[in-house]
Amino acid sequence: MKNVKKKYSLIIIAVVIALALTQCAKRGSPTGGPVDETPPEILRAFPDNYSVNFKNQEIEITFDEYVKLKDLQKQLVISPPLKYRPIIKPQGGASKKLTIEITDTLLDNTTYVLNFGQSIIDNTEENPYPFFKYVFSTGSYIDSLKIQGRVTDALKFKTDDFINVMLYEVNDSYTDSIIYNEVPRYVVNTLDSLTTFTMENLKAGQYRMVALKEKSSNLKFDPKSDKLGFVSEVITVPTDEVFEVNLYEPEQNLELRRASQVAQSRIQIGYEGLLDSAMISPVNKSLIAASRITKADKKDTLNYWYKPVLEQDSLELVVALKEFKRTVTARLKEQEKDSLIVSKYGQFSLRNPIQFTATTPIVKLSPLQMRLIDKDSVSQDFAVKLDSLNNIWSYEFNVQPENKYSLQSLPGAVTDFYGATNDTITSVFTTKASSDLGNIPINLSGGTAFPIIVQIVTENLEVTGEIIVRDNKSVTFDYLPPNKYYIRVIYDANDNGRFDPGNFLENRQPEKVVYFPDLIALQANWDYVTNIILE
């Protein structure tokens, strides 16, 4: 009997153990082992890396596992650049062999560097082989000199990625126009993670250093689409100096686009470049009795308004923008005439005035036909100012927090170029409580390089406010909406009230810009007091 009980006990124990093991098995699944974080390794290369007297057309590199190529067009940098990029495989697949077929004629006695960045990755976990370089020389030795530096942005807080830093050899054939027409002798790219750079395998000599943020990736400067930076002095290699290259968007040369009639007596003329002033006049002055020029809002376009209405098929105009002058022709046909429509412009606040604009150019404002009252129906004194070029007029008065203002413009308050006047217009504006806003008082000291432009800019670098300062003092930016802000100081060397970029052909660097401090998280009903020591 005891044996039977023992037998049953053993069976029960066995069943319990089996059930326990089954439950344990159900709780999870096999992990497959740890994730592979090891980058691929090179087993051999033919010809060997750092070969001299190189004459091969094909290079073969063998890895210890299957690899593939990722973002090769952006990551691969060849120095000196080749006219025809090599054919590199695998393309769209994986292989243990990387083959490089050179399709260009190589220069004699030249060290070449093929920098793959992080484009070579393993096939499973995509671990990169970091910054692999294949180096060879068509001569008897490998050039071994190097220079270092960093790239900054002249106006922005952060520097772009994928910047090409280039060296042009300064010899008897060098001219400054080389950056527009020829590829450099050496090039390195900052890729997507660095703002510093090291250019290696250089030969001794004299060079100009240029940095490009390109759109076309052809290693040639296109002023309409590329950002440029340069070192002002000729660089002599070898050197221990660490160079800084300051990127900027170049100022466009003034150019005109076609002129076209867009209304019965209005012609639009597109332009490129920075517009400070404009003059437009007819070639045949007897045709036009009166005219006005306005700039289209947020467009590089001028409107030329004229009278009387012309009954002919074309009109020739002389357009003068600064020193630039050109004759354009607009074809004329029957069109609808422009009519006067007045509308609000911009966003009124404790910082920004009440503003209006119109669909036709305004020539007269009559304050006696206007009335401004606050929430208590108390009349407010005001001044009205017209910006003729931008066709915007603004009202200046003592604006108070947490108030409501009603502006009434009676008929005849606004008169346009064609003699049309407004109907009665009533507009209501409100301001926030000061406790809903913040302030940034700034104490400036130590400065000797004046004037400066002190700006408050948002995290995406939109200008919220600016003050031109000509000596050490305190300034305050009041009534700012809660947001994240930078304080930006522009050293306005030519005293023209704006940031000026550099000019390579004039060997002029961009004006200096400094951010203080990194980022301000301004809260409502809060003063962020900042002390800034200037240069």
Confidence of residue 390 (pLDDT cuts 50, 70, 90): very high
182 within some domain: yes
The pLDDT, as a whole number, for residue 192 is 78
370, 407 contact by CB (below 8 A):
yes
Q: Give 465-504 pLDDT, tens digit per residue.
A: 999 999 999 999 999 999 999 999 999 999 999 999 999 9
Cβ neighbours around 122 below 10 Å, total: 21
| 20 pLDDT above the threshold of 80 | no
Distance between CA atoms of 446 and 448, rounded to whole angstroms?
7
Q: Give 176-220 pLDDT, tens digit per residue.
A: 999 999 999 999 998 877 789 999 999 999 999 999 999 888 899
Cβ neighbours around 487 below 10 Å, total: 21
Q: Which domain holds residue 309?
A: 255-331
Q: Are residues 130 and 99 in the same domain?
A: yes
The pLDDT, as a whole number, for residue 10 is 44
Mean pLDDT of 125-136: 91
Q: Are residues 297 and 224 in the same domain?
A: no
Mean pLDDT of 330-337: 95
Q: Are residues 156 and 239 in the same domain?
A: yes
Cβ neighbours around 124 below 10 Å, total: 11
| 30 pLDDT above the threshold of 90 | no
Q: Are residues 149 and 242 in the same domain?
A: yes
The last residue of one of the domains, among 379, 406, 431, is 431
Element (H, E) at 10: helix 2-26
Which long-range CB contacts under 8 A does 306-310 form with residues at least 24 apart?
306/265, 306/266, 306/267, 306/282, 307/265, 307/417, 307/418, 308/265, 309/264, 309/265, 309/337, 310/265
63, 41 contact by CB (below 8 A):
yes
Counting every residue written for the chain, the total comes to 535
Confidence of residue 29 (pLDDT cuts 50, 70, 90): very low
Q: Identify the three-state secondary structure at position 214.
A: coil
The pLDDT, as a whole number, for residue 276 is 81
The pLDDT, as a whole number, for residue 195 is 86
Q: Are residues 377 and 458 in the same domain?
A: no
Q: Give 73-127 pLDDT, tens digit per residue.
A: 888 999 999 999 999 999 889 999 999 999 999 999 999 999 998 899 999 899 9
Give the CATH number for residue 502: 2.60.40.10
Report residue 461 as tokens. Answer: 């670098």
The model carries a pTM of 0.84
Q: Identify the three-state secondary structure at position 408.
A: strand
The pLDDT, as a whole number, for residue 36 is 62
Cα separation values, 342 from 306, 348, 421, 525, Å: 20, 16, 10, 36
Mean pLDDT of 262-267: 97
Cα separation values, 253 from 203, 224, 297, 321, 389, Å: 37, 9, 21, 11, 21
Chain mean pLDDT for the chain: 91
Could you tell me what percent of the chain has a pLDDT over 90? 83
Q: Give 289-317 pLDDT, tens digit per residue.
A: 999 999 999 999 999 999 999 999 999 99
Q: What is the total count of domains within the chain? A: 5
Q: Are residues 241 and 151 in the same domain?
A: yes
6 within some domain: no
Beta-strand ranges (E) seen in 214-289 are 227-230, 235-237, 242-247, 255-263, 266-272, 279-282
Q: Are residues 65 and 149 in the same domain?
A: no
34 within some domain: no
395, 384 contact by CB (below 8 A):
yes
Q: Which of 154, 149, 160 is nearest to 248 (CA)?
A: 154
196 within some domain: yes
Distance between CA atoms of 302 and 294, rounded to whole angstroms?
6
Q: 4-40 b/e with 16+ CB inside 10 Å = b?
A: eeeeeeeeeeeeeeeeeeeeeeeeeeeeeeeeeeebb
Q: Are residues 230 and 294 in the same domain?
A: no
**Residue 457 or 92, more confident:** 457
Confidence of residue 35 (pLDDT cuts 50, 70, 90): low
490, 461 contact by CB (below 8 A):
no
Mean pLDDT of 373-402: 97
| 408 pLDDT above the threshold of 70 | yes
Q: Are residues 150 and 163 in the same domain?
A: yes
| 24 pLDDT above the threshold of 90 | no
Q: Are residues 455 and 384 in the same domain?
A: no
Residues 6+ apart with CB under 8 A from 409: 342, 369, 370, 422, 424, 425, 426, 427
Longest dimension (CA), the chain: 134
| 15 pLDDT above the threshold of 50 | no
Q: Are residues 126 and 181 in the same domain?
A: no
Pairing of strands 145-153, 242-247: parallel
378 within some domain: yes
Q: Are residues 315 and 365 in the same domain?
A: no
Cα separation values, 94 from 58, 87, 91, 134, 256, Å: 19, 15, 8, 20, 52
**Residue type for position 172:** D
The last residue of one of the domains, among 196, 220, 247, is 247
| 6 pLDDT above the threshold of 80 | no
Give the CATH number for residue 122: 2.60.40.1220
10 within some domain: no
